[in-house]
Structure formats: structure tokens, C-alpha cells
Amino acid sequence: MARYLFLLLLTIASTSWAGLFSNDATGPLPAHEAIQFTSEQNQQTLIISFTLADNIYLYRDKFAVQLLDKTPYPHATFAEQAETISDPNFGDVAVFYYAATANIDLSQLPTYTQQLKIRYQGCDEAIGLCYPPQTAVLDIESFTASTPAVNNTAAKDTSLNQASGILGFLQNAGLALILATFLVLGMGLTFTPCVLPMMPIISSIIAGQKHLTPKRGFVLSSIYVLGMAITYAVAGVVVGSLGASFNIQIYMQQPWVLSIFAVLFVLLSLAMFGVYELRLPRFIQDPIDRLNQKQQGGSLISVLLMGALSAIVVSPCVSAPLAGALLYISSTGDAVLGGLALFALGLGMGLPLIIIGTTGAYVLPKAGPWMDAVKHFFGVLLLAVAWWLLGRFIPETLYMSGWIALLGIYTVMLGAFEPAHGYGKRFIKALALLGFVFASALLFKLVLGSTQVSRPNIDSTNSEVISKKDRFFEVTSSNSELQQKLSNAKANEKLVFVDVYADWCIECKIMSNTLFKDAEVRDELSHFVRIKYDMTDFTDEHKAFLEQHNLFGPPALLFFGLNGDALPEAHIIGDIKKAEFLRHLQQFDH
């Protein structure tokens, strides 16, 4: 009997013990179980639906929305009416029980935004426990007026970063489409300021032929383009193998390298003027002659080499399409694909050059006195290419003076001040006089302090812009100094704009002399800390900077948020027009 009584008491005690501590056996609910939410995007509204466990409430005023750079985004409202309670921690507060729905208006977002961060906090009323503030990052879908409701699962690029757009397109394309895309990109690159100087080179090669036919012009220009394409193919193989760290064109922009090639073009120009006959040493010339005899005249190997060198030296700038293409190749790690893709790019760049070479037989006059004048013209063009190369590192005043001298001397050679008989010679004299007047106008501008060919900007309101004392940008070539400037901007809660620049980058100079000297652009940029990161010398730390930001070279316009972090979706690769740039800047909350 005693034994049964003991068992009964033990059972009662066990049950009482279990009942006493049953509520705490597993502890309070984790925050992600106590406060659950789902998100859905319907056109320009992001809907966040909270589901709250029993005895859990959500603070209305602790809910906040931010951009990733911690900029507040105060465009959220709740569908439900909040209750007011007396909270032991915060006094009278507005809270939600059971459920809450927040609607975030996305129409005010900057265009580069791909994600939003939300912050919320709640408490367990039963046990008096408040959870730490919770955060979550949500992806934003691009939207239009006809966009259906979609689950918030992925982000689309809505920025002006064309390089990222090209990259995304290529990542979803097949081999045939990739090669076709690179071919089209190459054709577009031909008409950029960085590649146009190739046209006088191929034209001078064609003009130098004694027996020029359309077939011969086609062969020579095709060989020249083949040299270009092979060079790009080799670069594609290396980029595909080694990644973005390889960029031989940048290394070829050192002043001593450019000077060597400038001298080469001067020598070629002098040969066009008949100063000497260009010949290679016999031990090199003899094998080439034997090979050329099989090719029916003309040094095809020389033309091939000229095309290869032109691809390396004459076209160093990185445009948005080219940057996107190189990013794609470096991300694949596929050397074969890299070689094929950039070979197609080189062919695309060369197609207009082949057209020029083939039609040259029809456009250029036949042998005779006219031919000497044409050869002299292309000799001047080769001198212009040489001076253009030197212009990447010499002072702007000297650079402008060289153009004035070249134009002035050539107009005198054309007979600007000599008697002319016949309509043809009078027409040439008229052109020469116009050229001399233009050279005189440039000289007048130079005396007034302007080194721009395109527009005067000589009124007093723009004198500060033209002045070399212009301090609109903080200029640095040091990575550590750049990081210090970014840290200072972060401490002052300022957005940062970085212009990645180099003297040898033609597009960089164009933007510096036009876009960044425009009053409207400067007004919009005044809200940013403005830094010009000069990588003219291209040191190892410049190379590291490019690798860090997935860049292949200048020009590039970078943006950094209030927290000092880069905003890659907002970056602009290559040049950009004023109107488009202003629209881009206006999306930032100043």
C-alpha cells in the first residue's frame, strides 16, 4: 500500500513540475518565428505583409526603409490602424497585433536602386521581452506602367551602366549571338575618337601604292584589319585566361612608348613627302621580298604589322560596350571564347576601313602630278596622328600650338597666298585660305587662354572654368589618398563622385573640357565630393584599383554612398552625353 501511495505522489509531483515549467521549456520564440513577413511587388508598390504570433506586437514607428547606403527612404505607409499601448520601455507607442501590411511607394527611388533595406522591431507582451531590431534586404524589380504583380525575388539593372547591360546580355547568349554581338560592337567602335585615327593610316597605305586597283585595295585593307583582329584575338585569349588584370593597351600608353610610335609615324610621313625611300635591312628585306613576289607586289607583312600596332597604340580608350565585352570574357575564364569574341570585335572595327581601302582605287587619282599632292596630304595626316599620340602627355598649350603650326604650314603649301589659274586650283586655294583663317582663329583663342578647338568659352563668366587654377575636382593619383578622401566624405555624410581619368584617354579629355565644365553639370555635382583619380602613369596601385572595381581602364565615372561604399549599379563606363548625365545625377537624394 505504501508503495502505491509513493508512486501516486511521484506522478502528481512530476505532473505539477512539468506544468509549472511548460511555458519556459522551449524559451521565447525566435524573432524570425515571432515576426514573420512576406514581400510582393505590384508595379510601383512593394507590399510587405507581417504575420505576428500570439502576444507579439510590432512597433509602427520602429519600421524604417533605407537605401543600401543608409539614406532614409520615407515613402512607406501601413494599411491598418495602429493601437496605442503603454510600453514599459518606450511609453505610449503605436503597435500592431496579429498582422500588419506596409506599402512602400517605389516611384521615388533613384534609378540605380536594385535593393532596399527594411528595419523593424517587436516585443513579446506575455513575458515582457523585446526583440533586438531586425533588418532585411529586399530586391527590387524594374517596373513599367504595364508590369504585372511579381514576387520580389530578383533585381534588374535600371542604371545607366551600359557595360553591365552588355555583360548581362552576353551571359544569356549563345556562341553565334555572342560573335555577332562583338562584330556589331566593333563596327560601332570604329567611329569613336579613339579609333578614327586608324583611317588616315590605312588611307596612306592605299595612297602609297603605284598600281592601285579595287582588288589590291581590298587585299591591303583586309590584311591591315586582319592584323588588328589578330591583336585583339590574342588579347581576348589572355583576358579569358588571366581575367581583367591584363590590359596591354594601358601599358602601351607610357610617354616613352608613345614617343617611339610618334617618331615612327613621322618617318612614315617623311617617306610620303619623298624625303627618303623607306627600306628595311637586307637580311630582313630579302625574305619579305621573296614572300611578296608570291603575293604580287606590296609588303603585306608590313601592312599586317601596322594593323597590329595600330590596334595596340592608337585605340586605348575603354568605351561602355568594350568594357562590358571584356568583363564578360574575363568572367568566363574561357580563352578560346575570348579569342574568337575579340577577333570578331576586331573584324567589326575594320569593316569600315576595308570599305575605305576598296573604294580608294575609285576615289584617289591615278598616277601623275595629282598623286604627289595626294601622297603629301596623307603625309600630313600621318604627322597629325603622330602629334595626336604625343598630345596624350604633353601640355595642352603646346599641343594646341602644334595643331596651329601644322594647319598653317600645310595651307601655305597648298598655295593659300599664291596666284591660282583654273577652277580646280582656285577651289584648292579657297580651301587653303579657309584653313589659314581657321588656324589664325585657333591662335587667337590660344592667346586668350583657351586650349579647346570646339568652342571659345572666352566670356568673363567662364574665365574661372578655363583657368588652370580650376579646383572643382580634388585631384589625386594615390590609392591611399583616395581612400582617405572617401573616409572624410563618409564622416561628413557626403556622396562621392570619382572621375577615373588619364591624360592618354581621349574620351577623358573630351569630358574634362566639355561635360565637366558645363555650368548645369557643375551645379548638380556640387552636392558631391568630387575627386579626379588620375592614372596617367598607371602604377601597380592603379591596376589594383581597376581590378577592385571591375574596370578595364578610363574613362569611368564612379559613385560612392553616404557610408563610403561603392554603388556599382550607378557607375558609368565610357563617355556620356550631358542630358543623360544630368538625368542620372538628379536621381540622387542630395
End-to-end Cα spacing for the chain: 86
The C-alpha atoms of residue 553 and residue 569 are separated, in whole angstroms, by 18
- CB 383, CB 375: distance < 8 Å: no
Signed CA dihedral, 540, 542, 546, 551: sign only: negative
pTM of the model: 0.46
How would you list the strands of the sheet with 496-501, edge to edge?
474-476, 529-534, 496-501, 556-560, 572-573
**Grid coordinates belonging to 134:** 531586425
**Considering only CA atoms, which of 85, 485, 553 is closest in space to residue 319?**
553
- CB 233, CB 341: distance < 8 Å: no
Position 98 scores a pLDDT of 92
The C-alpha atoms of residue 204 and residue 269 are separated, in whole angstroms, by 9
Position 221 scores a pLDDT of 82
- CB 520, CB 463: distance < 8 Å: no
Position 48 scores a pLDDT of 93
Position 99 scores a pLDDT of 93
Output the DSSP codes for 155-201: ----SS-HHHHHHHHHHT--HHHHHHHHHHHHHHHTTSTTTTTHHHH
**Grid coordinates belonging to 214:** 579595287
Q: Kindly give, in sequence order, each residue whose CB lies less than 8 Å from that of residue 59, ignoring residues fewer than 6 positions away.
A: 90, 93, 94, 95, 120, 121, 122, 123
Output the DSSP codes for 477-520: --HHHHHHHHHHHHHTT--EEEEEE-TT-HHHHHHHHTGGG-HH
- 101 sits in which H/E element: strand 99-105
- Angle, CA 555 vertex, CA 570 and CA 445 arms, to 5°: 125
The C-alpha atoms of residue 17 and residue 35 are separated, in whole angstroms, by 30
The C-alpha atoms of residue 454 and residue 494 are separated, in whole angstroms, by 34
Output the DSSP codes for 253-319: TSHHHHHHHHHHHHHHHHHHTTSS-----HHHHHHHHHHHHHTTSS-HHHHHHHHHHHHHHT-----
DSSP letter at 368 equals: S
Instruction: Write b or e for each residue in 157-184: b if 16 or more Cβ atoms lie within 10 A of its Cβ, otherwise e.
Output: bbbbbbbbbbbeebeeeeeeebbebbbe
Which residue is associated with the grid cell 516585443? 123
For residue 264, with 0-12 CB atoms within 10 Å meaning exposed, 13-18 middle and 19 or more buried, which class applies?
middle
For residue 273, with 0-12 CB atoms within 10 Å meaning exposed, 13-18 middle and 19 or more buried, which class applies?
middle
Position 465 scores a pLDDT of 38
Averaged pLDDT in 10-residue chunks for the chain of 590 residues: 42 40 55 88 88 91 82 85 78 89 85 78 80 82 43 35 48 68 75 60 62 76 86 76 55 71 76 61 51 50 76 55 57 68 83 78 56 71 80 80 88 81 79 86 80 45 42 89 91 91 81 88 92 86 82 85 83 83 78
The C-alpha atoms of residue 122 and residue 32 are separated, in whole angstroms, by 11
